[in-house]
Every structure is written in structure tokens, then in C-alpha cells.
Amino acid sequence: MLDLDRLRALHAVATHGSVSAAAEALHVTTSAVSQQLAKLERETAHKLLERNGRGVKLTDAAKLLVMHADRILSLVERAEADLEAHRGVVVGELSLGAFPTAIRGLVPAALRDLRARHPDLRVLVTEHDPFVSAPLVARGDLDLAIVQDWNNEPLSVPEGLVKGMICEDLADVAVPAGHPLAGRDEIDLKELAGDCWISSPPGTICCDWLTHTLRTFDSEPRLHHTAYEISSQLALVAAGLGDCILPRLGRDPLPEGVAVIRLRRPLSRRIYAVWREEAARRPAICAALDALRASARSVLSDEE
């Protein structure tokens, strides 16, 4: 009979690309993964890994086994979720990934609520861009992720994930206080298309969205400065170095030298949670979604 832990080790190597990466994902030593794979080779009477330069590659037999392991591990996760749902108790560990403003604007109140209602649930939070966190959920490295997309550019999520709405967040534009349009109540974004811009680094969802949006105005974006944190972007705006898109969720007090202008055609981003279909019935995921939505309702009512 095939051993589940050994199948999981092989599946992790296939998913993460190397024995060392699989060991890191499984929170064990490289030696432990190698031992599990050696036992699986003896158990199946097939060679599963071959040398490929400095790394390894899966044999045809291993690829066949991984295909079955994927289905087996999904069924195991579904069974575990069903058992948790049957017990109806919110316990255990839940790994949550979120982008910076969601961590600042939604997560603290949600975690405080979860701790009060479900003291036996341990939530572990890490910061990730949605382009990173959604695949991590699909791979099983995260249980739940908070992701975002914009009203003019939807985010596709990997197959096998479920997406649930948390809230919608409006965005304004921040410009230096000395900007010619700083005194306006509202503007069209295309009026700023030729300006210098400050955004998160290329390859992140906000930067890619801003680039795409500005190009619709027949303007090649001038992204002169990049920073992950909104507070850092605003410091650069205050220094007169460019404009930035400023979501309302998790917004800190503005530094001196920054003017915020509403957009005549509102820009909004939709904030979702994503989780694996197999884990949908886990009480911990249901409780986390309830807490995140309650936090969003509170934040949005404060903004109004």
C-alpha cells in the first residue's frame, strides 16, 4: 500500500521543483524528504528521480504517480475538511496571505474577532502580492489569501480555487501639493496620464494595472519610482516626485505636501478571499471569511 507521507514528499518535489524546496515547503529536512523518496522507490519498484545537472527531474513513473497523488491528496484534504465541518469546531491552524493594505486595513480587526470567538484557532499571516498568494493557495502553501483586482482588469485565479467577495474599495489619486490640479475637487485620470508616477514594482498587480490603465489613454507610463508600501509612495509624492493611486482601505494620515483628488470616473478594486475547493467546508475558513467581511463593513462605514 502506498504511504501517504511518501506520496506527499514526491508531490512536493514535483510542485516546488527540487528536493530542498520541497523540504522547505513541508517544514522538514532535505534528508527527510530524500529518505521518503527512497522508501517510495523501493515500495513501487520504480526509479522516481534522475539527475538533471545540479538538480533532479521526475521520471515517467514519477509523473504518473504524481498525477494520482494530486487526486489522492485532494481527496484527503476534502475528507479532513468534512470531518472538521462535522465536528463544527473552529480549531487548528490557518495560514493567511494578504497584500499590504489588506493586512493594515482588514486583518487586525478580523484576527482580534477570531481570537475572541475561537481561541483554539491559530492564524498565521504573511504578506504577499495577489500574483503570488493565489498560486500559493493552489499549491497548498497557504490556506486562504486575500487578493484584489480592479474594475477594469479582473484577476484570474488558478483552477481549483474558490473566490468569495469581501468588499469593494474606492481609490483616489495623490499628487504633490504644488501640482497644477491639486485644488480640484475631482478630475479624470487621463488628465494626469503624462505625469511621473510612483507605484509598486513591476510584476505586482497594482503596477501592472496602472501601466495597462494609463496606456488606454495613449500614454506610455512614466514610472520613475517604485515602492511596495503606500506610506513610502506618499513620502515620494510629498517630495514632489510624482503621483500615485491611493486606495481608501488602510489609508494612513497623509503627510504634508500631498493633495488627494477624487476621480470623476471612480476607480474601484474588488477584494476577495480565495481558498481551495477541497477545503471549502472547513469551519476555520468559514469563520475567517465572516471575520474579514465584518471588518470590511466596519472600515467602509467609518470611511462614509
> In angstroms, what CA-CA distances link 114 with 117, 120, 121, 143, 145?
5, 9, 8, 16, 16
Q: Looking at the structure, tell me whether residues 159 and 274 fall in a common domain.
A: yes
- pLDDT score for 83: 67
Nearest of 138, 148, 172 to residue 98 by alpha carbon: 148
Over residues 12-29, mean pLDDT: 79
Q: Looking at the structure, tell me whether residues 97 and 223 fall in a common domain.
A: no
pLDDT confidence tier of residue 304, bands split at 50, 70 and 90: low
Which of 50, 66, 85 is a domain's end point? Answer: 85
- pLDDT score for 302: 60
Distance CA 116, CA 107 (A): 14
Q: Looking at the structure, tell me whether residues 172 and 264 fall in a common domain.
A: yes
- pLDDT score for 81: 67
The CATH number that applies at residue 78 is 1.10.10.10
Q: pTM of the predicted model, to two decimals? A: 0.73
pLDDT over 90, % of the chain:
43
The CATH number that applies at residue 238 is 3.40.190.10
Q: Looking at the structure, tell me whether residues 277 and 208 fall in a common domain.
A: no
Query: What angle (nearest 5°) sits at the alpha carbon of residue 295, between those of residues 112 and 264?
Result: 150
Which of 85, 109, 129 is a domain's end point? Answer: 85
Nearest of 285, 271, 243 to residue 96 by alpha carbon: 285
DSSP-derived 3-state class of residue 293: helix
Distance CA 131, CA 135 (A): 7
pLDDT digit string, tens, across residues 197-243:
999 999 888 898 888 888 888 778 888 899 998 999 999 999 999 99
The number of residues in the chain equals 304
User: How many domains does one find in the chain?
Assistant: 3
Q: Please, what is the average pLDDT of the chain?
A: 87
pLDDT at 300 over 80: no
> In angstroms, what CA-CA distances link 101 with 64, 127, 191?
42, 10, 26
Rg, C-alpha atoms of the chain:
23
Q: Looking at the structure, tell me whether residues 178 and 252 fall in a common domain.
A: yes
Sequence-ordered alpha helix ranges (H) in 17-166: 19-26, 30-44, 60-87, 100-105, 107-117, 130-139
Q: Which domain holds residue 41?
A: 4-85
pLDDT digit string, tens, across residues 137-178:
988 889 999 999 887 777 788 888 999 999 999 999 999 999
Q: Looking at the structure, tell me whether residues 24 and 154 fall in a common domain.
A: no
Q: Looking at the structure, tell me whether residues 252 and 189 fall in a common domain.
A: yes
Q: Which residues pair with 6 in a beta bridge?
A: none
Which of 30, 62, 85 is a domain's end point? Answer: 85
Q: Looking at the structure, tell me whether residues 15 and 131 fall in a common domain.
A: no
Distance CA 187, CA 262 (A): 7
Distance CA 299, CA 252 (A): 13
pLDDT digit string, tens, across residues 22-54:
787 777 888 888 888 888 888 888 888 887 777
Q: Looking at the structure, tell me whether residues 175 and 256 fall in a common domain.
A: yes
pLDDT digit string, tens, across residues 59-112:
888 888 878 877 877 777 777 766 666 567 788 899 999 999 999 999 999 999
User: Residues of 160-196 as b/e, b for ≥16 C-beta within 10 angstroms?
Assistant: ebbbeebbebbbbbbbbbebeeeeeeebebebbbebb
Q: Are 13 and 19 spatial neighbours (Cβ–Cβ below 8 Å)?
A: yes
pLDDT over 70, % of the chain:
95
Q: Looking at the structure, tell me whether residues 173 and 228 fall in a common domain.
A: yes
Q: Looking at the structure, tell me whether residues 208 and 232 fall in a common domain.
A: yes
Amino acid at residue number 258: V
Q: Write out the DSSP string of 4-57.
A: HHHHHHHHHHHHHSSHHHHHHHHTS-HHHHHHHHHHHHHHHTS--EEEETTEEE
Q: Looking at the structure, tell me whether residues 183 and 220 fall in a common domain.
A: yes
User: Sign of torsion, CA 161 166 168 173?
Assistant: negative
